[in-house]
Amino acid sequence: MRYLIIITTILLYSRTFSFERQFHETKVNKKILKYLDQGHIYKKSKVESKKQQQSLNYMIAGLHPNGCRKALKKLSRYEKFHEYLDLVKLSGYAEETKEIYLYLDSSLLPFPMSLNFQIERISKPGNYHFSFKKGFLKGLKGNIYVFKHKGRCAFYSTTFWVGKKSKIPDTIFEIFTETVGEITMKALFKSTRQL
């Protein structure tokens, strides 16, 4: 009986895991997909402050010029992000802990930032969870959904964070996350494009 419970648990877990990995473009709003088809990056940021806390609800979506196999060959090399993006001065990835380290510094940023977060290498379409363990946005959690769309590779990411209120006003924080997100996604797509 005990072995039956263990086997059932393993089967249910693997079924849940495989279901979670499957993400289809039909889950993305059709208006967003149409916007992406026109060559745009879709982004939306909502920041709210209440007393001593601030929250960020953010999403971004884009369509890479290449199919997923070609696009992910380069985009999954997180340790090379400093070669792809001007605002990334240092980048690294620890395979064992699945942790990315990025040091960002640019005139676009209110201050230099160190970002540490955990995510596995995105090597194929699916649903990938990530979380920030340290830094300015400690506790941020999100997902990156990668899927095939009309022969190209689509990326749809959602994030949510609640933390200590920053010195950045809500509206500025919203504009900042949308602007930096769009610039970064465009630059990543351009620098990893393969003809």
Q: Read off the pLDDT of residues 31-67 as tens digits, 9 standing for 90 and up.
A: 999 999 999 999 999 999 998 999 999 999 999 999 9
Whole-prediction pTM: 0.81
Residues 54 and 164: beta-carbon distance below 8 Å: yes
Structure token pair of residue 92: 């690294």
Tell me the mean pLDDT in the region 104-120: 85
Mean pLDDT of 160-186: 92
Instruction: Write phi, then psi, for 57 (nearest 5 degrees).
Output: -125, 115
What distance, in Å, lies between the first and last C-alpha atoms of the chain?
57
Whole-number mean pLDDT of the chain?
A: 84
Segments making up each domain of the chain, as ranges: 2-191
Confidence at residue 107, expressed as pLDDT on a 0 to 100 scale: 82
Give pLDDT, residue 119: 93
Q: Assign a CATH topology to domain 2-191.
A: Alpha-D-Glucose-1,6-Bisphosphate; Chain A, domain 4 (3.30.530)
- Cα distances from 149 to residues 4, 63, 128, 181, in angstroms, run 41, 8, 18, 21
Inform me whether the pLDDT recorded for 1 exceeds 70: no
